[in-house]
Amino acid sequence: MALDASHGFVAANGAGLGDGALPIFDVQRVELQFSVAADFVAAQVANNVLILALSNGRILRIDLNRPEDIDDIDLPKKPSEVGVIRRMFLDPTASHLIVCTALGENYYLHSQSRQARPLPRLRGVSIESIAWNPALPTASTREILIGASDGNIYEGYIETATEFYRKEEKYLKNLQKLPGEPVTGLWVDALPGKADTRRVLISTQSRLFHLVGKVGKGHDGSASIYSKLFESEQPVIHELPRSSTSTAASALVVSPDPPDVSRFRDDLPPERSFAWLSSHGVYHGKLLVSPGAPELGNKVFNESKLIPKAQLATQEGAGRRQSSTDSIDAIALTQWHIVTLVGGRIVAANQLTGATVYDQVVLNQGQKALGLCVDAQKNTFWLFTPNEIFEIVLTEEDRDIWKIMLKLQQFDAALQHAHTSAQKDAVAIASGDYLISKGQYAEAAGVYGKSSKRFEEVALCFIDNNQPDALRKYLLTKLSTYKKSWVMQRIMIASWLVEVFMAKLNSLDDTIITGAELSETLSPAQTKDQLDAVRSEFHDFINKHKGDLDRKTVYDVISSHGREEELLYYADAVNDYNYVLSYWVQRERWADALRVLKRQTDPEVFYRYSSVLMTHSATELVEILMRQSNLKPRNLIPALLEYDRNFKGSLAQNQAVRYLQYVVNQLASTDSAVHNTLVSMYAAHPSRDESALLAYLESQGDEPRYDPDFALRLCIQHHRVLSCAHIYTSMGQYVQAVDLALAHDEVQLASIIANRPMTNPPLRKKLWLAVAKKVISQGNGIKTAIEFLKQCDLLKIEDLIPFFPDFVVIDDFKDEICAALEDYSRNIEGLRKEMDESSQTASNIKVDIAALEHRYAIVEPGEKCYVCGLPLLSRQFFVFPCQHAFHSDCLGKRVLEQCGPAKAKRIRECQVLVSKGMVSGERREAVVRELDGLVASACVLCSEYAIRRIDEPFVKEGEDLSEWAL
């Protein structure tokens, strides 16, 4: 089977056309790709499965997803025995099918089976309606309600049984009898959040029952669960006057699952609609889920409406309305419309307004329809005749729902069903206008903010009605809708919001201060809570929209209102710490300024405010500075010097010195400016104690980081004698150091300095002579002076005599003179012994020189030259005391290779002079002797020549290695 490509059914008058080009409703004939030998007598559709019952008793089961696969099923008995199939009931999952025949035989067919099984307990029951279990089970039907033509309502439980002795019905229980009328419709659903509560709708030709209550606990089909509900609860009844036409069609239908199920929460299913077809027309409404029973039935019926039969039966044509006597034969519900079969026409009316939106003749004259079917899960709608199948196709069914909701002033629902931005904007504007008319300005502000209504119109409305809170809400909402690229609009709105916030905060502050009530409903305590809420809202606004604010404008606005806390909060939010610091500094609130400074990491901030903070809160500032690792101490020196200049306490309390000590000792700074600054503070301090300065100078060692010349000038300027002496000493200027110490009568210091140059005895003696002169000149007694000068081992008594006064009693240093004379005597004796030893050594040397003339060496006849390997006696040769012998020319070549450039040059010059006869006589002999001395000065194998060849290999490249074999 396939869909016909041509759409032959279009609304004649364009009814149903909405914003789109296609009508909402269209009826399409379905072409059958298979042939049947009998007419259709019943049809059902569920979950894309089509069930067709034929007049010959056959049942066709067709999967619409695979229409080529058709299951052909026969009833166990022939139609002549059980009658023609009268009605079929298919559950929404297409798992369970109940077939009813004209003679009261009922059969059950499961989707996994190809054999229909009879239902013995239901034999003779003329089934008119079935309410499937709301859980939609597939293995069995579980508990279902069955309505019969005699007014009886049964509860049954049907499952597939393969054993011949088991019946499909687990049980069948009669719950209630409605005398006089068939049960034309049944519906059961479960209320959300109440697992054991059920709602039951029952329809007859003249009455509609609404029943809500708890059901019993199920026992897997072992007992009835609905008995408790029917026995304990009283239904709410909607009854129509008895109609003279008792044969009028009656049916109860419920809207299918919504097309977009994802829009609804699992724990809160969407509300469904119901429609009851009676002789009076179509009674319809919402199947509300609250409040609880029994009020729920009253509310459902109170909010339901009736569409009269005459309205649906009336036909429009040729520009006028024509009354029709056709009855309503069938009914179906879509999400928003009621579809009825009136004679051969399909008529659709809107559920919200009751207006007819589609009226089209579908069937030919005299053609009879089997009815309308709805696939509740797939949201498809079907019309069946004995020979044809039609599909009622819906196109954007909810396209105009938002307009209807808007006219009904159901703005939330209208917004939910508006699809385009223009539709949503229209809903927002209408909703805002409605709220304004009701005086609900705050609610209107949020709605207007998301609409396109003119900005100035809305703003003036709130201003004229003195609604600053609504204006604030509107501006906030409007700001959130502007794009980031709309810079100017965002800045203007955000700046205005700052002004609005400040005015509101000031108003609340004034109310709290005066103790008066803001309004008739707010007490001062409530006003304070509101103040906190508005301030928190302002903070959130700043954090979210600080990028949309101009700093200068915001500062000016907030300052004009005197809102210090908000001003500083904004500055903190935009990281404008310079502004915050300058604010606190200008007000001389040093603790607040330091609290802000603690959170900073930008070095420039510390450099900028260090001077003023060092002056007023030095200790706390130094604590902060010592926790910063990215500062350059050099840039803080001006602030430290300014602080030191005005500081009057001790060095231990001087915070500038404390910080510089931290930089020098802990950070190991090598910056000379830092060290020089510390030296200047030590030297310039009024205290005469030099221990701190001297300890620092001594800690610098031999490579000080400070400038010695600069430090020396400061120490001289401030009379720091010990420090000056240390600096002179570190510079190697011992004479100046001793002179300075002696000039200030620091004799002990001078003696310590005089002992420093231990590697330079003459200098050391000179220094001690200066010390001796000072000591002797002090007139403390010659003996005392001599005892003091014994500290130096270089001074003699004769060195000190020139410093004594002209008239000195020799008895004062007689012992020293005697000791000196005895020492001289010992020295003279030692020198005499050394002279005797030197004289004896000279004599021995003369004897050795004379013996050299008689030394010789024995050369064997076969001895060879150690260089060329030829017999030694073949030409002139040299023999060394080590017994190595060389030809003179071989030795000369070897010496030339290994001696230095200067010696080699001289050897070549002498060889040229001798070989070419350029000299003669005594000159030649002198040159020969010089050449022999240069060449034969040492053995090339034993002397320093051999040491120079230590890096040469034993076997040279190209030599035979066999000689080295073991």
Q: Are 384 and 370 in contact (CB under 8 A)?
A: yes
Ramachandran region, residue 220 (left: φ > 0; alpha: ψ -120 to 50; beta: rest): left
Q: Are 239 and 207 in contact (CB under 8 A)?
A: yes
How does pLDDT run across 671-692, given as a tens digit for each residue?
Answer: 888 888 888 888 888 888 888 8
Paired with 389 in beta bridges are 30, 384
Q: Is the dihedral of CA 463, 464, 467, 473 positive or negative?
A: negative
Question: Sheet of 152-159: strands edge to edge?
Answer: 127-131, 140-148, 152-159, 169-177
Q: Are 331 and 341 in contact (CB under 8 A)?
A: yes
- Radius of gyration of the chain from Cα atoms? 62
Q: Are 147 and 129 in contact (CB under 8 A)?
A: yes
557 pLDDT band, cuts 50/70/90, is very high
39 in any annotated domain: no
Judge residue 626's burial from the number of C-beta atoms within 10 Å of its C-beta, 0-12 exposed, 13-18 middle, 19 or more buried: middle
Q: Are 287 and 297 in contact (CB under 8 A)?
A: no
Three-class DSSP category at 142: strand
Question: Sheet of 305-308: strands edge to edge?
Answer: 251-254, 272-278, 281-287, 305-308
The pTM is what? 0.60
How does pLDDT run across 622-651, given as a tens digit for each residue?
Answer: 888 888 888 888 888 888 888 888 888 888
Mean pLDDT, rounded, of the chain: 82
- Among candidate residues 935, 894, 897, the one with its CA nearest the CA of residue 914: 935
Q: Is 102's pLDDT higher than 50?
A: yes
547 in any annotated domain: no
Report phi then psi at 491, rounded to 5: -65, -45
Helix (H) or strand (E) run with residue 415 in it = helix 411-417
Distances in Å between the alpha carbon of 823 and those of 768, 784, 820, 830?
Answer: 21, 22, 5, 11
Return the exposure string of 88-127: e unless at least 16 CB atoms fall within 10 Å of the residue's CB, then b: bbbbbbbbbbbbbbebbbbbbbbbeeeebbbbebbeebbb
Residue pointed to by tokens 């305590």: 525
How does pLDDT run across 474-506, given as a tens digit for each residue?
Answer: 999 899 888 888 999 999 999 999 999 999 888
DSSP label of 122? G
Helical spans, DSSP H, in 30-181: 79-82
Q: Is 184's pLDDT higher than 70?
A: yes
pLDDT of residue 173: 93
d(CA 184, CA 127): 9
DSSP label of 234? P
Report phi then psi at 226, rounded to 5: -90, -10
pLDDT of residue 331: 95
d(CA 97, CA 89): 6
d(CA 422, CA 531): 38
Contacts of 957 (CB under 8 A, 6+ apart): none
Q: Are 395 and 20 in contact (CB under 8 A)?
A: yes
928 in any annotated domain: yes
896 in any annotated domain: yes
Q: Is the dihedral of CA 310, 311, 314, 319 positive or negative?
A: positive
CB atoms within 10 A of CB 22: 15
DSSP label of 936? S
CA atoms within 13 A on the CB side of 269: 16
How does pLDDT run across 205-220, given as a tens digit for each residue?
Answer: 999 999 999 998 866 7
d(CA 861, CA 875): 13
Three-class DSSP category at 127: strand
531 pLDDT band, cuts 50/70/90, is confident
Distances in Å between the alpha carbon of 809 and those of 42, 424, 802, 943?
Answer: 161, 128, 14, 67
d(CA 286, CA 289): 9
Q: For residue 590, how far is the Cα from the chain centroid? A: 37
Paired with 439 in beta bridges are none
DSSP label of 32? P
35 in any annotated domain: no
Number of domains in the chain: 1
Q: Are 701 and 736 in contact (CB under 8 A)?
A: no
919 in any annotated domain: yes
Judge residue 322's burial from the number of C-beta atoms within 10 Å of its C-beta, 0-12 exposed, 13-18 middle, 19 or more buried: exposed
d(CA 898, CA 16): 121
Range of the domain at 908: 872-954
CB atoms within 10 A of CB 339: 23
Tell how many helices (H) and how many strands (E) occur in the chain. Answer: 34, 33
Paired with 251 in beta bridges are 277
d(CA 665, CA 680): 17
816 pLDDT band, cuts 50/70/90, is low
890 in any annotated domain: yes
Q: Are 156 and 141 in contact (CB under 8 A)?
A: yes
- Among candidate residues 334, 377, 339, the one with its CA nearest the CA of residue 49: 377
How does pLDDT run across 651-675, given as a tens digit for each residue?
Answer: 888 888 888 888 888 888 888 888 8
36 pLDDT band, cuts 50/70/90, is confident
d(CA 59, CA 689): 121
**731-739 mean pLDDT:** 74
- Among candidate residues 193, 231, 199, 188, the one with its CA nearest the CA of residue 295: 199
Output the six-digit token pair for 162.
């393969």
d(CA 506, CA 501): 9
DSSP label of 17? B
812 pLDDT band, cuts 50/70/90, is low
CA atoms within 13 A on the CB side of 677: 27
- Among candidate residues 537, 520, 518, the one with its CA nearest the CA of residue 528: 518
How does pLDDT run across 314-327, given as a tens digit for each residue?
Answer: 776 544 455 566 78
Three-class DSSP category at 854: coil
Q: Is 338's pLDDT higher than 60?
A: yes
pLDDT of residue 53: 94
pLDDT of residue 790: 62
Q: Is 813's pLDDT higher than 70?
A: no
d(CA 685, CA 691): 12
Three-class DSSP category at 115: coil
pLDDT of residue 12: 31
Q: SS3 string of 709-741? A: HHHHHHHHHCCCHHHHHHHHHHCCCHHHHHHHH
Output the six-digit token pair for 863.
């001895």
Judge residue 827's burial from the number of C-beta atoms within 10 Å of its C-beta, 0-12 exposed, 13-18 middle, 19 or more buried: exposed
150 pLDDT band, cuts 50/70/90, is very high
Percent of the chain with pLDDT over 70: 84
pLDDT of residue 420: 85
d(CA 502, CA 253): 60
Longest dimension (CA), the chain: 178
pLDDT of residue 929: 84
Q: Is 9's pLDDT higher than 60?
A: no
Q: Are 145 and 132 in contact (CB under 8 A)?
A: no
Contacts of 497 (CB under 8 A, 6+ apart): 472, 475, 476, 479, 541, 545
How does pLDDT run across 758-801, given as a tens digit for each residue?
Answer: 666 676 667 666 666 666 666 555 666 666 666 665 555 555 55
3 pLDDT band, cuts 50/70/90, is very low
When comparing pLDDT for 256 and 953, which is higher? Answer: 256
Q: Which of 314-328, 350-364, 469-483, 873-887 has the lowest mean pLDDT?
A: 314-328
How does pLDDT run across 245-298, given as a tens digit for each residue?
Answer: 467 889 999 999 888 755 544 555 667 999 999 989 999 999 998 877 778 999
When comparing pLDDT for 628 and 124, which is higher? Answer: 124
Residue pointed to by tokens 């939910």: 416
In one-letter notation, the amino acid at residue 545 is H
Percent of the chain with pLDDT over 90: 28
Contacts of 150 (CB under 8 A, 6+ apart): 126, 177, 182
Paired with 392 in beta bridges are 27, 381
Output the six-digit token pair for 9.
């059914």
877 in any annotated domain: yes
d(CA 685, CA 679): 10
Q: Is 8's pLDDT higher than 60?
A: no
